[in-house]
Structure 1
């Protein structure tokens, strides 16, 4: 009897350790990494965007692969189309960018976070609409708002017409929640 009680307590302690220490460590290391964290935090703060949202976008876009390139030609961690990146650079009075510049983590995160902030401002802080625009383009979201009578209060992800965009928005918001729960202790 004594041995089984000891074993039970060991299992309880092991379970507690796993859920309090092991699981968050494994989640941060493998499922929700936060590479380039200093840049993510700095650009998020500079643009008044939650760092967890920026990290959620990066995870969904490139899984933190700075060499990522999509079939249509989006580049880097935040998967910026070169035309969009050049437009953003103009808005920021930055020098002309090359594709190589756009791929650099610091530049890519700076431009992508600024653009995310721009979209959040354009859609009055509505994350669903801003993320849909980040994925499908502002023109599509504006068209949907007109066609379906959506307002800046829109939150029905399931009503987004493009399946890829629906999945993208849901994924980024889920990622954001995980980043907030896993890393918020480090931000306080």
Structure 2
């Protein structure tokens, strides 16, 4: 009888532990999805697919740049969800053939900002083989990063940055890459950039 009671207690403890694990896991996932949300999903899916980008990366950049605030504006004059400067916006418009000519005010429109932000990311990933280098160029500019890559103290091979000289850019790249790890853990996307329900 004592052995039976012990077996029952062990079984009950195991069930309680198992239930606790699932409750904690579900709570953790709920909390993390609140911290790393998906906004503008239809636009992100469309533009990520059109530019052959991982949607998780697009969300990671938006979270780091504006925390999904379409009205965000930086001290450097970058605007909107993906924080594009008017000069960069002008340049990307020459790369993305469109019948519509947009003005700076259009950067506050999520569809426009995400479309051109994704195009910029795509251009940078075509130019730079390393994710951290491309993200550095998104933050500090192509000219700055090209100069870093020419400096043997910063880049031994002209492709990989041994370190990022600007603290702001270093922190930005770290934030985007951390976001990216979390978005990849939390969500799965199909080849159309749409989220796969789990």
**For the superposition of Structure 1 and Structure 2, which TM-score range results when normalised by the shorter chain?**
0.7 to 0.9
Please state if 1:79 is matched with 2:83.
yes
Partner of 1:106: 111
Please state if 1:147 is matched with 2:166.
no
Tell me, in whole angstroms, the C-alpha distance in 2 between the residues paired with 1:174 and 1:59: 11
Contact 1:65 1:77 in 2 (8 A): yes
Q: Deviations over 1:4-29 (max 9, x none)?
A: 9857744541332221x221122112
Tell me, in whole angstroms, the C-alpha distance in 1 between the residues paired with 2:96 and 2:88: 12
Partner of 1:130: 134
Please state if 1:187 is matched with 2:196.
yes
Relative to the length of structure 2, the TM-score reads 0.83
Tell me, in whole angstroms, the C-alpha distance in 2 between the residues paired with 1:181 and 1:171: 16
Contact 1:61 1:78 in 2 (8 A): yes
Gaps of 5+ in 2: 190-194
Tell me, in whole angstroms, the C-alpha distance in 1 between the residues paired with 2:24 and 2:156: 44
From 172, 176, 181, the equivalent of 1:177 is: 181
More helix by share: 1
Structure 1 residues 32 and 152, CA gap change in structure 2 (3 angstroms): farther
Partner of 2:27: 22
Contact 1:85 1:111 in 2 (8 A): yes
RMSD (CA atoms): 2.2
Tell me, in whole angstroms, the C-alpha distance in 1 between the residues paired with 2:156 and 2:50: 30
1:140 Cα offset (Å): 0.9
Secondary structure of 1:48's aligned partner: coil
Q: Deviations over 1:25-59 (max 9, x none)?
A: 22112x10110012112111110111111111000
Q: Deviations over 1:122-153 (max 9, x none)?
A: 11x31111000000111111001111244365
Contact 2:148 2:161 in 1 (8 A): no
1:86 Cα offset (Å): 1.7
Please state if 1:97 is matched with 2:102.
yes
How many correspondences in the alignment? 183
Gaps of 5+ in 1: none
Tell me, in whole angstroms, the C-alpha distance in 2 between the residues paired with 1:4 and 1:99: 66
Q: Deviations over 1:157-188 (max 9, x none)?
A: xx111111111111111111111111116438
